[in-house]
């Protein structure tokens, strides 16, 4: 098994609600190693590059609402690295629609918005976070958001217990 990298984006609702520390703590306390971070605003071109298949998957109305939401304010992008980190981050984040996300997950603990309400009112589902969904998506997204020089290699304390020396 190889180490994976994944992109996490704290969306404008998480930043505006002052949840950056709380959210990053969730990952750090699970022993997930963060290797890069930056705040930025997303313009319409960059939003399209990031969510290039969202319109195809969910339709034009969901794309438009989500793009407007993502451009409401700055976001914080973070790269995490570790064993099965793509699935592990998604497990901590919880499922897409916060009203269905399990308590204990970030979306389940800090949001409650439903898909039905969002669709009825032409709103994006404000669900605090984006996290890459697959190895291919993670590779594309990490390269889209970060220069290699902005990702850091350092010995994290938790690596000592959880990562084989041959992978460090």
Q: Please name the residues in contact with 83: beta carbons below 8 A apart, sequence gap of 6 or more.
A: 1, 3, 4, 162, 163, 167
130 is catalytic: yes
Using CB atoms, what's the residue nearest to ligand ADP? 96
How many residues bind ligand ADP (CB under 6 A)? The answer is: 14
Please report, for residues 25, 71, 92, the alpha-carbon distance to residue 87 in angstroms, rounded to integers and kept in the order given: 18, 27, 9
Q: Please name the residues in contact with 153: beta carbons below 8 A apart, sequence gap of 6 or more.
A: 35
- Whichever of 13 and 159 has its CB closer to ligand ADP, that residue is 13
| 156: its two tokens | 């994290």
Distance (Å, whole) CA 168 – CA 131? 23
- Taking the complex as a whole, how short is the minimal distance between the CB of residue 129 and ligand ADP, in angstroms? 8
| 142: its two tokens | 């990490």
Q: Please name the residues in contact with 72: beta carbons below 8 A apart, sequence gap of 6 or more.
A: 12, 16
- Per-residue contact track with ligand ADP, 62 to 101, x per CB under 6 A? x--xx-----------------------------x-----
Catalytic entry in 50, 58, 121, 130: 130
**Contact call for residue 112 and ligand ADP (CB under 6 A):** no
Binding segment toward ligand ADP, per CB under 6 A, in 21-29, 41-49, 121-129, 140-148:
121-129
Tell me which residues are annotated as active site: 130
Q: Which residues contact ligand ADP by CB under 6 A?
A: 54, 58, 62, 65-66, 96, 115, 118-119, 124-125, 127, 130, 133
């Amino acid at each position: 098994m190889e180490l994976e990298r994944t992109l996490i984006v704290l969306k404008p609702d998480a930043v505006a609600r002052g949840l950056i520390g709380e959210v990053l703590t969730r990952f750090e306390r699970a022993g997930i190693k963060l290797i890069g971070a930056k705040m930025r605003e997303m313009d319409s071109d960059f939003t399209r590059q990031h969510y290039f298949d969202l319109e195809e998957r969910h339709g034009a109305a969901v794309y438009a609402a989500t793009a407007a939401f993502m451009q409401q304010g700055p976001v914080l992008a973070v790269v995490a690295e570790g064993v099965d980190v793509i699935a592990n981050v998604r497990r901590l984040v919880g499922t897409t629609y916060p009203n269905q996300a399990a308590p204990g997950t970030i979306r389940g603990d800090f949001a409650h918005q439903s898909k039905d309400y969002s669709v009825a009112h032409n709103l994006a589902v404000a669900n605090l976070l984006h996290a890459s969904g697959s190895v291919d998506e993670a590779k594309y997204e990490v390269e889209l958001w970060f220069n290699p020089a902005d990702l850091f290699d350092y010995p994290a304390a938790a690596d000592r217990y959880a990562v084989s020396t041959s992978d460090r």
